[in-house]
Structure 1
Amino acid sequence: MARITHCIACSHIPVLGYAFDHGKEGEAYFKPAFDGFEWTRRFLADEKPDVIVLVYNDHASAFDMKIIPTFAIGCGDVYHPADEGFGARPVPPVEGHADLAWHIAQSLILDEFDMTIINEMEVDHGLTVPLSMMYGHVDTWPVRVIPLAVNVVTYPPPSGNRCWALDEAIARAVASFPEDLKVQVWGTGGMSHQLQGPRAGLINRAWDNRFLGRLTGDTQELRHIPHIEYLRETGSEGIEMVMWLIMRGALGTRTRALHRHYHVPVSNTALGHLVLEPVDGTIPPGPTPAGNDATAQAPIA
């Protein structure tokens, strides 16, 4: 059967895509950011996952104010890089895995998650930058990708608890797929950053590093961080870190960190990266009851 072997978190900072595309990885400003991915490139070359469920947020490339799905899963065969105003990134098209994607979509919907199913869409830097950071310059991506887009752009985004529970359901779906596949789940976005207003340029190193640390081990307190804490402590765009909880939920009770990288600044953004593996190998139980978790929310600090 298919199995989730590891999970990876990675910021998807657009300027890293620019630096990568223009051969600037070795420049003094960018080199410390890129150096933190050398370990992961070697790890992926050895591990050779078959499929990545890549959790990201669209930046008005596939969706706009006319349609705002909370969770959307790509069930197509191929996804081309989007033109975000400066032409499409010069990276390969992303090959999907329609059979597994449809299986996950069916399982999630029967597990009471209302997924939007997308068969055709273009993917922007939220999805392609992590692939570049992890795989480098390639003619074709050496892995198939199932895009899972999350609304963290327009209020209201999903709660951390709902995101964690979604990946528990994804883990159950993957485990019930009969083909022998090595699957990883990647959570992208974050860490602390604000792009506009009086607090533009906000970076909270201490909060970011506590968040990274609490993705490891057996704690589940991160799933109950309220939206207002992300806004207050990590800026208006820090809410993207709920997508890291979708990554974490797949790994069961306990995790171990294989690699950790944190660097600031990259543009006006904190860069975070983490590679996790499960310790006990258990599949999260389910189904997880849906509902408002406001009464259970607790601060990280």
Structure 2
Amino acid sequence: MADIVGAYFTSHVPAIGGAIHRGDQQDPYWKPFFDGFVRVHQWLALTKPDVAVVFNNDHGLNFFLDCLPTFAVGAADQYHNADEGWGLPIYKPFAGHAALSWHIVEQLVTDEFDPATCQKMQVDHALSIPFELAWPGVDAWPVKIVPIAINTVQHPLPSAKRCLALGRSVHRALTSWPGQERVVVIGTGGLSHQLDGARAGFMNPDYDRFCLDNLARNPDLLTRHSIHDIVRLSGTQGVEILNWIAARGALGPFATEVHRNYHIPISNTAAATMVLNPA
């Protein structure tokens, strides 16, 4: 079976990509966030994954409000980034692990999920920025990817309980995969933030710390809130915590915390980074 080496979680704010592009990592505004990646780089150098299963959300590059699946799995041999209008550079292409993608899709359907299966898919900042943070300056990405997109935009949104179950189904797929790949699970997005409306600029450090404190030891506790509770607690865009919850499910039943970093704000977002090992 695949060797699940651990899980990496981080925010994917477009402004982070801008800071990387400008070389602002040591700027006083950005330094507390980027300093949190020294430990991430050390951990990745030690664990040496060659495949990444990435739970993220699409921001209109593939899906829009007229056609937005609840769950979508990429099953392509290659994925390209495209211009989203943020003024960011186009990132390097990503090699896909299509065979593993199909194996995951088979398990999801067996477990009575109904994912969209995308044999063509682009990746946006929700995936490319976390990779730039994890592997800065590389000529080519050192891992193949299986991207899994979760709807965090158009209501009705999936519940936290459903996303945790989705991740656990992916875990079953990884443990039944006959290959010997070293797999890192990645969850991206958040934490608390709201970009529009009457609560624009809203952040909730108490809820963020509740999520960080319980992600490793008791992820089921994060499912006690309804999706509307999560919107209230984390902000309209803070529901990206669903990506983290699904990724935690894919890691396996037990986990230990290796590293965390929490910094507020980064471009009106409570930014966080976390690393977990399977236990």
Partner of 1:220, secondary structure, is helix
Any idea what SS the aligned residue of 1:80 has?
strand
Match for 2:106: what amino acid? Q
Residue 86 of structure 1 deviates from its aligned partner by 4.7
Give the deviation of 1:121 after TM superposition: 1.8
Secondary structure of 1:265 counterpart: coil
User: Relative to structure 2, which stretch is displaced further, 119-128 or 3-12?
Assistant: 3-12
Report the aligned-residue RMSD: 1.3
What is the one-letter code of the residue matched to 1:70? Answer: T
- The 1:88/1:218 distance shift into structure 2, 3 A limit, reads closer
Task: State the partner residue of 1:118.
Answer: 118
Offset from partner CA, 1:255-294 (integer Å, 9 cap, x none): 2100011001101000011111222xxxxxxxxxxxxxxx
Report the alpha carbon displacement of residue 64 of structure 1 after superposing the two structures with TM.
Answer: 1.0
Match of 1:237 in 2: 237
Whether the aligned pair in 1 keeps the contact of 2:9 and 2:186 (CA below 8 Å) is yes
Write out aligned runs for 1:178-189 (5 A): 178-189=178-189
- 2:136 alignment partner in structure 1: 136
Residues 1:47 and 2:47 are matched in the alignment: yes
Q: Please show how residues 154-169 of structure 1 align to structure 2 within 5 Å.
A: 154-169=154-169
Q: Tell me whether 1:29 sits opposite 2:26 in the alignment.
A: no
Per-residue CA distance 1:112-163 (angstroms, 9 max, x = gap): 1101000112111011111111111211111111110110011011111110
Q: Is the 8 A contact 2:262 2:271 kept in 1?
A: yes
1:174 counterpart residue number: 174
2 CA distance for matches of 1:254 and 1:147? 23
- Matched residues in 2 for 1:269 and 1:260: separation? 16
Structure 2 gaps of 5+ residues are none
In structure 1, the gaps of 5 or more residues are: 280-301
Report SS of the residue matched to 2:215. Answer: coil
Moved over 6 A (4+): none
1:57 aligns with 2:57: yes
* 8 A contact 2:18–2:88 mirrored in 1: no
Q: Is this contact kept in 2: 1:10–1:272, CA < 8 A?
A: yes
Could you state the TM-score of these two structures normalised by the residue count of structure 1? Answer: 0.89
Is the Cα–Cα contact under 8 Å of residues 83 and 90 in structure 2 kept in the other structure? no
8 Å Cα contact 2:105/2:115 also seen in 1:
yes
The equivalent residue for 2:12 is 12
User: What SS is found at the alignment partner of 1:141?
Assistant: coil
Distance in 1 (alpha carbons) for counterparts of 2:249 and 2:262: 21
Contact 2:52–2:143 at 8 Å: present in 1 too?
Answer: yes
Percentage identity across aligned positions? 43
Give the residue type in structure 1 aligned to 2:171.
A
Distance (whole Å) between structure 2 residues aligned to residue 253 and residue 52 of structure 1 = 19
Aligned residues: 279
